[in-house]
Chain A
Amino acid sequence: MKIAPACVLLLSGCAGAQSALDADGPSALAIENLIFLFLAVCGVAFVLVMGVMTWALVRGRNEPAGRPQTERSMGRVVAGAVVATFLVITFLTAASFYATPSLDRGKADPPTILVRGQQWWWQFSYLDADPAKTFQTANELHIPVGTDVRLRLEASDVIHSFWVPNLTGKQDLVPGRENVLTLNAAKPGVYRGQCAEFCGLQHSHMALLVIAEEPADYARWLDVQRGLATAPTDGEAAAGKLVFMSKPCAACHTIRGTEAVGTTGPDLTHIGSRSTIGAGLLDNTRGSISAWIADPQTLKPGNNMPLVPVTSEELRQLSAYMKGLQ
Chain B
Amino acid sequence: MTWFGKTPSPADLAAGDEKAEALLRRTWSTPAGVLAALSTVDHKIIGRRYIATAFVFLMLGGVLALAMRLQLAFPEARFISADRYNQIFTVHGSNMMFLFAVPVMEAMAVYLVPLMVGTRNIAFPRLNAFSYWIFLAGGLLLWTSLALDTAPDVGWFAYVPLAGPQYGPGKRADIWAQMITFTEVSALAVAVEIVVTVFKLRAPGMSLDRIPIFVWSMLVTAFLVIMAMPAIMLASSSLILDRLVGTQFFNPSEGGDALLWQHLFWFFGHPEVYIIFLPAVGMVSAMISTFTQRPTFGYLPLVLAMIATGVLAFGLWVHHMFVAGLPRVGSSFFTASSMAIAIPAGTQIFCWLATLWDGRPIFKTPMLFIIGFLITFVIGGLTGVMVASVPFDTQVHDTYFVVAHFHYVLIGGSVFPLIGAIYYWFPKMTGRMMSERLGRWAFGLIFTGFHLTFFPMHMLGLQGMPRRVYTYPPELPWAGLNLFVSLSAVILAAGFLVFFIDVLRSVRHGPPAGPNPWNASTLEWAMPSPPPPYNFRHIPVVESLEPLWTSGEALPVATGLRLDRRELVVSSVTAGEPEARESSPADSIWPFLAAIATSIMLIASIFSPWAVVWGAIPVAITLTGWFWPKQTPEDES
Contacts and interface: CB of A to CB of B under 8 A. Distances in A.
A57 B361 contact: yes
A89 B386 CA distance: 10
Contacts of A50: 375, 378
Interface string A46-61: 1001101101110111
B81 interface: yes
Contacts of B371: 53, 57
Given A18-B464, A18-B476, A172-B324, A99 B378 contact: no
A86 interface: yes
Given A65-B360, A170-B394, A46 B466 contact: no
Interface string B319-348: 000011100100010011001101100110
Nearest to A64: B360
A78 B350 contact: yes
Given A46-B382, A49-B349, A103 B395 contact: no
A19 interface: yes
A81 B466 contact: no
B353 interface: yes
Contact of A89 (B340, B375, B390, B463): B340
A75 interface: yes
Nearest to A68: B358
Interface in B282-336: 292-293, 297-298, 301, 323-325, 328, 332, 335-336
B390 A103 contact: yes
Nearest to A55: B357
Given A15-B463, A42-B386, A204 B392 contact: no
Given A42-B386, A53-B353, A176 B257 contact: yes
A97 B335 contact: yes
B252 A176 contact: yes
A177 interface: yes
Contacts of B325: 153, 171-172, 174, 177, 179
Contact of A59 (B166, B357, B391, B395): B357
Interface stretch (B155-163, B263-271, B501-509, B606-614): B155-163
A232 interface: no
Contacts of B386: 35, 38-39, 42
B207 interface: no
Nearest to B349: A49
A92 interface: yes
A47 to B, nearest CB: 10
Interface stretch (A192-200, A239-247, A249-257): A192-200
B356 interface: yes
Contacts of B155: 198
Contacts of A28: 395
B394 A169 contact: yes
Contacts of A34: 389, 391-392
B342 A204 contact: no
Given A56-B357, A92-B385, A204-B472, A78 B297 contact: yes
B521 to A, nearest CB: 16
Nearest to B389: A96
B380 to A, nearest CB: 11
Contacts of B398: 161, 170, 196-198
B471 to A, nearest CB: 5
Contacts of A231: none
Contacts, number: 244
Given A17-B477, A69-B358, A201-B82, A158 B464 contact: no
A204 B343 contact: no
B373 to A, nearest CB: 11
A93 B339 contact: yes
A168 to B, nearest CB: 7
Interface stretch (A5-13, A106-114, A140-148, A286-294): A5-13
Contacts of B468: 198, 203
Nearest to B298: A78
B378 A17 contact: no
Interface in A278-326: 280, 301-302
A6 B83 CA distance: 27
A158 B161 CA distance: 5
A200 B153 CA distance: 8
B162 A199 contact: yes
A119 B168 CA distance: 13
A319 B44 CA distance: 71
A21 B399 CA distance: 14
Contact of A46 (B332, B379, B389, B393): B379
A223 interface: no
Nearest to B338: A93
Contact of B391 (A6, A102, A204): A102
A31 B464 contact: no
Contacts of A132: none
A164 to B, nearest CB: 9
B167 interface: yes
Nearest to A38: B386
B483 to A, nearest CB: 16
B374 interface: yes
A21 B463 contact: yes
Contacts of B375: 50, 53
Contacts of A15: 463, 477
Contact of A174 (B259, B301, B347): B259
B356 A53 contact: yes
A26 interface: no
A171 B361 contact: no
B469 interface: yes
Contacts of B328: 100, 103-104
Interface in B211-265: 252-253, 256-259
B441 to A, nearest CB: 21
A102 B353 CA distance: 39
Interface in A22-36: 28, 30-31, 34-35
Contacts of A161: 323, 398
A302 B83 CA distance: 9
Given A89-B385, A170-B398, A177-B252, A6 B475 contact: yes
A74 interface: yes
A196 B397 contact: yes
A82 B358 contact: no
B63 interface: no
B519 to A, nearest CB: 13
A159 interface: yes
Contact of A52 (B339, B340, B353, B389): B353
Given A89-B342, A196-B398, A82 B323 contact: no
A171 B394 contact: yes
A195 B466 contact: yes
A164 B228 CA distance: 35
B351 interface: yes
A260 interface: no
Contact of A100 (B257, B324, B336, B391): B391
A67 interface: yes
Contacts of B13: none
A65 B362 CA distance: 11
Contacts of B346: 81-82, 85
B462 interface: yes
A81 B616 CA distance: 56
Contacts of A202: 82
A20 interface: yes
B510 interface: no
Nearest to B90: A198
A192 B382 CA distance: 29
9 contacts: A35-B395, A53-B371, A57-B371, A78-B298, A85-B346, A93-B389, A103-B328, A159-B258, A195-B466
Smallest CB-CB A-B distances: 4 pairs = A176-B252, A169-B394, A18-B464, A179-B325
Given A67-B358, A158-B159, A302-B83, 8 more contacts: A15-B477, A35-B462, A39-B386, A57-B356, A63-B360, A74-B358, A100-B391, A198-B159
